[in-house]
Chains A and B, each alone.
Chain A
Amino acid sequence: MAKPPVTIPELVSQFGPTLNRIPAHGWNAEVEPDRIVKTHCCFCGQQCGIQLKVKDNRVIGFEPWEDFPFNQGRLCPKGVKRYMQDEHRDRLKAPLMRKEGTGFVPVSWDEALDKVAGEIKRIQQTHGPDSFALLGGASLTNEKAYLMGKFARVAVKTANIDYNGRLCMVSAAAASKKVFGIDRAANPWSDIPLARAILIAGANIAECAPITTNYLWQARENGAKLIVMDPRITPIARNADLYIPVRPGGDIGVFNGMLHIMIERGWINREFIAQHTTGWEQVEETVRKYTPEYASRIAGVPASMIVKAAEIWGPASTSFLLHARGIEHHTKGVLNCMAAINLVVATGRIGREGCGYAMITGQGNGQGGREQGQKCDQLPGGRDIENPEHRKYIAGVWGVPEESIPHKGLSIIPIFEAIHAGKIKGLLAISSNPMVSLPNNSYIREAFEKLEFFSQIDFFMSETARHADVVLAGSLMEEDEGTTTNVEGRVIHHKKVVDPPDDARVDWKIICDIAARLGQAGKFTFDSPKEIFDELRVASKGGICDYYGITWDRIDREYGVCWPCPSADHPGTPRLYEGNKFNHPDGKAHFQPVEWQPAAEEADGEYPIILTTGRVVSHYLSGTQTRRIGALVDQYPQPLCEMHPQLAAKLGIAEGDFVKVESRRGSVTVRASVVKTIRPDTVFVPYHWPLDRAANNMTVRAIDPISNIPEYKICAVRVSKVPEPHDAIAELEMEAGGVR
């Protein structure tokens, strides 16, 4: 069915989101914890170390973990208040079954799991194995990500599994693989303060990776020059040496323009290029026409800024490039990343102290979640599902015939297109909230409504879970144990802090239980996440992301271990490409020539303004967790539309006015925030909210042909002043999608 069984306001009154404001055991400071558990924050790819205080199997507070080297006790507001997602009144504590007109009713695990397995079998028998799809997520532990990939190929036997890392890291991943043959940040964060020039392209570090800020400022104390490219003055940009207010989608103008100037002024390393790279001639040819003037027209900034950027980056003795979704969320996302990385390779400043680059992972396990085989085209260890050798190896690990492993399936947007086309009839999702996070949201909602069966594993009734026939009450990060891989490629250990409440279960057990009902109990005999990790280690052995030498014990002893780590006596690899050894068969880095191209939908006469979307510091992704934590909601309670005073004046809009932001696909009505810190041709709306406050109502369903990432950063909108809305959705609390 996949339609909400009752109205949205009724579901909100039953399941929230509501706000948790008071810790378990109250604000009382006299309560002594039974235990203090060293673990990690679950919000974002930095994976900061944190200690959670526990009393009577309840999380009652936190304490900084100053010994963990990556963040040394530092946290952002999400980390500080993360513990308030525990003991939450919205927490799902039993499996639920949809009942038309009533809502959701609790059922036994047997009934819920029988229903899910029965529907998988029924749909596959009627419409074929690939008619049932799975969605995983990059907030899952490595163990669960691995399990989802195996579950898809061995138990469900569908080709169609993908994950929400498709919305996050795939452009960066594809670009890094093309140039270097490995998809991972090239350097540990300790290299950042040693760089003399730092280029930050499309990364709102202050809000999306706050603890990286200290690394940047430390670099500046050491004399580094900082360049920031962003259509908005972010808190980092305010104090940059050079801020480039690049037009959304104009990044290649800056990168190719910089390279053009660097060639002209002799700021490239021709010896390194000759010995360790291929493809330079084509790059040199391509950037020839990117004179500062030509580049300036593409970038939408004065040519002098591009020249200054080249003057900082070109002659620097050491340098570090950081990029994130700002350049990646484009139909040319892979091209953007490659053009940026060309600036690194052309100078030969990689693979040594203070020299390199990194993509900043967004989701909790943004790095590890993309390595273990829950992508539509991938097997564990970062292996290729179409490579016969890779298939054979994994078939051996799983004890299945190679030919039984499905081939490449659909990525997440094509999965929803196949649902529309009637080719996919059933869906099981975990760690994913497409009703907030996918572009062109009305199209996504229509897809859910077309499904014959939908089940969601979740800890809260997310906007997507409301569409489910069966909701399986799973586990929060702190209710289970496992590993994640942080932004540096460092594998770290999330400890189990408390048990799941009441009848909720740990996710991995739910997946194994469904596998058993699909007749594959023998392949899913795990008794603990540690056993899953041990199988993952073997499955990754010899792959690009080799975890074989990493054990939970080593992680605890060494504050994490960076992959590749092929054996127990291997120290791990914090810095890739030392000695200029790159991971292509020829051992070289492969330059990729990049030509600028327009976005799928540029501003035009009818929709004359560019909308760009992003995050705010107090919320995480689709807000399922952070829109339930009072302190974080208070900090940024509802989405605002940021616009420049020049644009606001033209539209007759003043600070705080209600405005309708409207694209060809949908709209939101939110309040205006009139600020000089954004380009006058661009508006910004953060995306963490649902329904009539969802920025993704407007965004375009266009994807990068290589990475399949959606173009969240550019679509065409018009903006107009409107009266305060008073419909039923507007009247909801702000955390539920209302507006004030």
Chain B
Amino acid sequence: MNGAETMEFFIDHSRCIGCKACVQACEECDTHRGVSLIHLETIMRPDSVQTAPQVCMHCEDPICAQVCPADAIKKTPDGVVQSSLKPRCIGCSNCVLACPFGVPKYKAEINQMMKCDMCYDRTSVGKRPMCATVCPSGALTFTTRENIERTRQGMAIRDWQFGGETVRTKVNVLVPRNVQKITVTIEQIEATSTNEYDVANLLLGD
């Protein structure tokens, strides 16, 4: 890898095939071997085969760290929000409740929060994170922005609007070209069933 290039993390949800190679590989990462920290959500299996991977988005101003009463969540100068520090974390789960992406999880067996640290042992020495290395669909990719712009139709953005809260993340998501920011509303979260992928409907024709 060329040191002058900045490698970034990109998620393209439309590419995800739900195979869980990321989940299986995450568990193999040396900083937290045996514990998988990526989440692979099955959106609504009765309606669709859609799935979505969720890594830590590494917010510029991480809400998890803001709400931590023990100052156990640190952001390194390279913008990676680390998992909780063992001596500090009191297992209160404030971060679990506060994260708009649902990333941190409380692990009762160690009374500590754990979350994705972008494979810090790998990325800090120039390797790609496990999940983005093995992902067979390219839904998770760790590469340069220039490379993404050259090879993908979508646009990489990292600005989010959760109600009144604006969040900028280190991790990018690929969206259609006309989208500038992802706005998440309560209505969207509450939306449930879809018939878009109902084979019985498709068989009725136009």
Point out residues on A near B: beta carbons under 8 Å: 22, 27-29, 61-62, 64, 66, 71, 73-77, 79-81, 206-207, 210-214, 217-218, 220-221, 232-239, 243, 245, 300-305, 617-618, 631-632, 635, 644-646, 655, 673-680
A238 CB contacts on chain B under 8 angstroms: 48-50, 197
Does B98 reach chain A (CB closer than 8 Å)?
no
A contact face: mostly helix, strand, loop, or mixed: mixed
A645 CB contacts on chain B under 8 angstroms: 46
B50 CB contacts on chain A under 8 angstroms: 238
15 contacts between A and B (CB under 8 A): A22-B34, A77-B23, A210-B21, A213-B15, A217-B15, A217-B138, A221-B151, A235-B17, A235-B19, A238-B50, A302-B206, A304-B206, A618-B20, A676-B197, A680-B203
Query: 9 more A-B contacts (CB under 8 A) besides A206-B18, A235-B17?
Result: A64-B133, A74-B133, A79-B134, A207-B17, A233-B48, A234-B49, A238-B48, A245-B199, A677-B47
- The answer to whether B136 and A674 have CB atoms under 8 Å apart is no
A632 CB contacts on chain B under 8 angstroms: 24
- The answer to whether B197 and A27 have CB atoms under 8 Å apart is no
User: How far apart sit A218 and B17, CA to CA, in the bound complex (Å)?
Assistant: 14
- The answer to whether A617 and B15 have CB atoms under 8 Å apart is no
Does B153 reach chain A (CB closer than 8 Å)?
yes
- The answer to whether B134 and A75 have CB atoms under 8 Å apart is yes
B206 CB contacts on chain A under 8 angstroms: 302, 304
- The answer to whether B34 and A679 have CB atoms under 8 Å apart is no
- The answer to whether B48 and A74 have CB atoms under 8 Å apart is no
Q: Mark B112-149, 1 if CB is under 8 A from A, else 0.
A: 00000000000000001010011111100000000000
- The answer to whether A61 and B28 have CB atoms under 8 Å apart is yes
Q: Which of A73, A75, A79, A677 contacts B197 (CB 8 A)?
A: A677
User: How far apart sit A125 and B135, CA to CA, in the bound complex (Å)?
Assistant: 56
Closest A residue to B15 by beta carbon equals A217
Closest A residue to B18 by beta carbon equals A235
User: How far apart sit A617 and B14, CA to CA, in the bound complex (Å)?
Assistant: 18
Give the shortest distance, in Å, between B15 (CB) and chain A (any CB): 5
Closest B residue to A308 by beta carbon equals B206
User: How far apart sit A16 and B51, CA to CA, in the bound complex (Å)?
Assistant: 33
- The answer to whether A675 and B19 have CB atoms under 8 Å apart is no
Closest B residue to A206 by beta carbon equals B17
Given A27-B34, A73-B133, A74-B135, also A676-B47 (CB < 8 A):
yes
A233 CB contacts on chain B under 8 angstroms: 48-49, 197, 199
Does B185 reach chain A (CB closer than 8 Å)?
no
B66 CB contacts on chain A under 8 angstroms: none
Given A66-B133, A73-B133, A80-B134, also A680-B199 (CB < 8 A):
yes
User: How far apart sit A77 and B152, CA to CA, in the bound complex (Å)?
Assistant: 25
Q: Mark B145-163, 1 if CB is under 8 A from A, else 0.
A: 0000001110000000000
Give the shortest distance, in Å, between A457 (CB) and chain B (any CB): 29
Does B4 reach chain A (CB closer than 8 Å)?
no
B45 CB contacts on chain A under 8 angstroms: 673, 675
A673 CB contacts on chain B under 8 angstroms: 45
Given A27-B33, A28-B33, also A80-B153 (CB < 8 A):
no
Closest A residue to B36 by beta carbon equals A631
User: How far apart sit A64 and B205, CA to CA, in the bound complex (Å)?
Assistant: 45
Give the shortest distance, in Å, between A212 (CB) and chain B (any CB): 8
User: How far apart sit A43 and B136, CA to CA, in the bound complex (Å)?
Assistant: 15
A218 CB contacts on chain B under 8 angstroms: 138, 151
Given A233-B48, A235-B18, also A221-B199 (CB < 8 A):
no
Does B2 reach chain A (CB closer than 8 Å)?
no
A-B pairs, 10 with minimum CB distance = A302-B205, A27-B34, A206-B17, A235-B17, A29-B30, A210-B136, A213-B137, A676-B198, A211-B136, A80-B24
A71 CB contacts on chain B under 8 angstroms: 136
Kindly count the residue-residue contacts between A and B in the assembled complex, taking CB atoms under 8 Å apart.
148
Q: Which of A27, A66, A214, A679 contacts B138 (CB 8 A)?
A: A214
Give the shortest distance, in Å, between A82 (CB) and chain B (any CB): 10
Q: Which of A66, A217, A232 contacts B137 (CB 8 A)?
A: A217
Give the shortest distance, in Å, between A414 (CB) and chain B (any CB): 37
Does B31 reach chain A (CB closer than 8 Å)?
yes
Give the shortest distance, in Å, between B19 (CB) and chain A (any CB): 5
- The answer to whether A655 and B46 have CB atoms under 8 Å apart is yes
Does B189 reach chain A (CB closer than 8 Å)?
no
User: How far apart sit A232 and B195, CA to CA, in the bound complex (Å)?
Assistant: 15
- The answer to whether A80 and B28 have CB atoms under 8 Å apart is yes
Point out residues on B near A: beta carbons under 8 Å: 14-21, 23-25, 27-28, 30-31, 33-34, 45-51, 128, 130, 133-138, 151-153, 195, 197-200, 202-206
Closest B residue to A237 by beta carbon equals B49
Give the shortest distance, in Å, between A244 (CB) and chain B (any CB): 9
Q: Which of B30, B34, B48, B136 contacts A75 (CB 8 A)?
A: B136
A81 CB contacts on chain B under 8 angstroms: 24
A79 CB contacts on chain B under 8 angstroms: 21, 134
Closest A residue to B195 by beta carbon equals A676
B31 CB contacts on chain A under 8 angstroms: 29
A73 CB contacts on chain B under 8 angstroms: 128, 133-134
User: How far apart sit A218 and B136, CA to CA, in the bound complex (Å)?
Assistant: 12
- The answer to whether B203 and A302 have CB atoms under 8 Å apart is yes
Given A77-B20, A77-B24, also A239-B202 (CB < 8 A):
no
A62 CB contacts on chain B under 8 angstroms: 28
Given A245-B199, A676-B198, also A304-B205 (CB < 8 A):
yes
The residue in B16, B138, B199, B203 that gathers the most chain A C-beta atoms within 10 A of its C-beta is B199
A29 CB contacts on chain B under 8 angstroms: 30-31, 33
User: How far apart sit A676 and B137, CA to CA, in the bound complex (Å)?
Assistant: 24
- The answer to whether B137 and A214 have CB atoms under 8 Å apart is yes
B47 CB contacts on chain A under 8 angstroms: 675-677
- The answer to whether A210 and B17 have CB atoms under 8 Å apart is yes
User: How far apart sit A304 and B46, CA to CA, in the bound complex (Å)?
Assistant: 26
Given A76-B19, A77-B19, A631-B24, also A677-B203 (CB < 8 A):
no
Closest A residue to B121 by beta carbon equals A29
Q: Which of B28, B202, B204 contacts A243 (CB 8 A)?
A: B202
User: How far apart sit A674 and B45, CA to CA, in the bound complex (Å)?
Assistant: 9
Closest B residue to A63 by beta carbon equals B28
Closest B residue to A53 by beta carbon equals B28
User: How far apart sit A61 and B24, CA to CA, in the bound complex (Å)?
Assistant: 12
Q: Which of B23, B134, B153 contacts A74 (CB 8 A)?
A: B134
A220 CB contacts on chain B under 8 angstroms: 153
User: How far apart sit A62 and B18, CA to CA, in the bound complex (Å)?
Assistant: 21
- The answer to whether B199 and A75 have CB atoms under 8 Å apart is no
- The answer to whether A77 and B153 have CB atoms under 8 Å apart is no
B15 CB contacts on chain A under 8 angstroms: 213-214, 217, 239
User: How far apart sit A236 and B16, CA to CA, in the bound complex (Å)?
Assistant: 9
Give the shortest distance, in Å, between A36 (CB) and chain B (any CB): 13
- The answer to whether A305 and B205 have CB atoms under 8 Å apart is yes
The residue in B28, B30, B202, B204 that gathers the most chain A C-beta atoms within 10 A of its C-beta is B28
Give the shortest distance, in Å, between B69 (CB) and chain A (any CB): 30
- The answer to whether B21 and A76 have CB atoms under 8 Å apart is yes
B153 CB contacts on chain A under 8 angstroms: 220-221
User: How far apart sit A62 and B29, CA to CA, in the bound complex (Å)?
Assistant: 10
Give the shortest distance, in Å, between A418 (CB) and chain B (any CB): 41
Give the shortest distance, in Å, between B53 (CB) and chain A (any CB): 13
- The answer to whether B24 and A617 have CB atoms under 8 Å apart is no
Give the shortest distance, in Å, between B141 (CB) and chain A (any CB): 9
The residue in B18, B24, B31, B205 that gathers the most chain A C-beta atoms within 10 A of its C-beta is B24
Give the shortest distance, in Å, between A245 (CB) and chain B (any CB): 5
The residue in B25, B49, B136 that gathers the most chain A C-beta atoms within 10 A of its C-beta is B136
User: How far apart sit A680 and B30, CA to CA, in the bound complex (Å)?
Assistant: 46
Q: Which of A80, A217, A677 contacts B48 (CB 8 A)?
A: A677
A232 CB contacts on chain B under 8 angstroms: 199
- The answer to whether A75 and B21 have CB atoms under 8 Å apart is yes
A239 CB contacts on chain B under 8 angstroms: 14-15
A210 CB contacts on chain B under 8 angstroms: 17, 19, 21, 136-137
User: How far apart sit A237 and B48, CA to CA, in the bound complex (Å)?
Assistant: 11
- The answer to whether B24 and A207 have CB atoms under 8 Å apart is no
- The answer to whether B19 and A646 have CB atoms under 8 Å apart is no
Closest A residue to B202 by beta carbon equals A245
